[in-house]
Amino acid sequence: MQIAIVLFDRFTALDAVGPYEILSRVPDAETVFVAERTGPVRNDSGSLVLTADRTLADVPSPDVVVVPGGPGQEAQMDNEDLLDWLRSADATSTWTTSVCSGSLLLAAAGLLTGRRATSHWLALELLKRFGAEPAGERVVTDGKYVTAAGVSSGLDMGLTLVGRIAGDEHAQAVQLLLEYDPQPPYDAGSPQKAPAHLVEEFRTRNRFIPT
């Protein structure tokens, strides 16, 4: 089994590394970071660099495709080389997945048309414009398409997927090994739970949908 995680300039690091840390523990799986070119890829804030070990062309038919999001996603929305690769990889994948605004790239490639899917809470409206049916859940599975909400939700997506691929017990073992027993010191992780003025502030300067 081959798991490909796509990188592009100004991706959000945890979008990629959250699912990576979990999915790379699928037994007998090879996990590989791919990008248009091999070599360093810098994240959204510019202070983190991950290496793409293989090009998209090197990895034509992974079993699992993971597409992270991040501010750099916008510039990829009309990158036909990447969109072509997504369509072609999806044609033979077992699972096609995304975290955060990565679902906008899947949607731009035409892969989520008419499908239930999710994205960062600020990107749900845009996801709809690209033909998907936004669902306000943290991890949404529609057939072989698994999309996750904002940034940190890739951990829940990864664990969900490991359960489907390797069984509940293996997923629980991975959860125990990574001690994924979350206890955030605040309860502001969704627009339903966060202080209303913070939600409003983010909506006003929503980078996905310029006001």
135 catalytic residue (yes or no): no
Task: Please tell me whether residue 176 binds its own copies under the rule CB under 8 A.
Answer: yes
Task: Please tell me whether residue 190 binds its own copies under the rule CB under 8 A.
Answer: yes
- Find the binder of its own copies among 4, 6, 17, 64 (CB under 8 A): 17
Task: State how far the alpha carbon of 119 is from the alpha carbons of 60, 133, 162, in Å.
Answer: 25, 11, 20
Question: Whose CA is closest to 55, among 42, 36, 83?
Answer: 36
Distance of CA 138 to the CA centre of its chain: 12
Task: Please tell me whether residue 30 binds its own copies under the rule CB under 8 A.
Answer: yes
Task: Please tell me whether residue 117 binds its own copies under the rule CB under 8 A.
Answer: no
Task: Please tell me whether residue 4 binds its own copies under the rule CB under 8 A.
Answer: no
Task: Please tell me whether residue 208 binds its own copies under the rule CB under 8 A.
Answer: no
CB of 184 to its own copies, least distance (A): 6
Q: How far apart are CA 62 and CA 142, in angstroms?
A: 19
Q: How far apart are CA 88 and CA 61, in angstroms?
A: 8
**Both tokens of residue 207?**
């980078």
Task: Please tell me whether residue 185 binds its own copies under the rule CB under 8 A.
Answer: yes
Task: Please tell me whether residue 150 binds its own copies under the rule CB under 8 A.
Answer: yes
185-191 long-range contacts (CB < 8 A, ≥24 apart) are 189/152, 190/121, 191/121
CB of 110 to its own copies, least distance (A): 26
Q: How far apart are CA 201 and CA 82, in angstroms?
A: 33
Write out the catalytic residue numbers.
100
Residues at the interface with its own copies (CB under 8 A)? 12-14, 17-18, 20-21, 24, 30-33, 40, 45, 47-51, 53, 100, 120-121, 138-139, 149-153, 155-156, 159-160, 163, 168-169, 171-173, 175-186, 188-191, 193-195, 198-199, 201-202
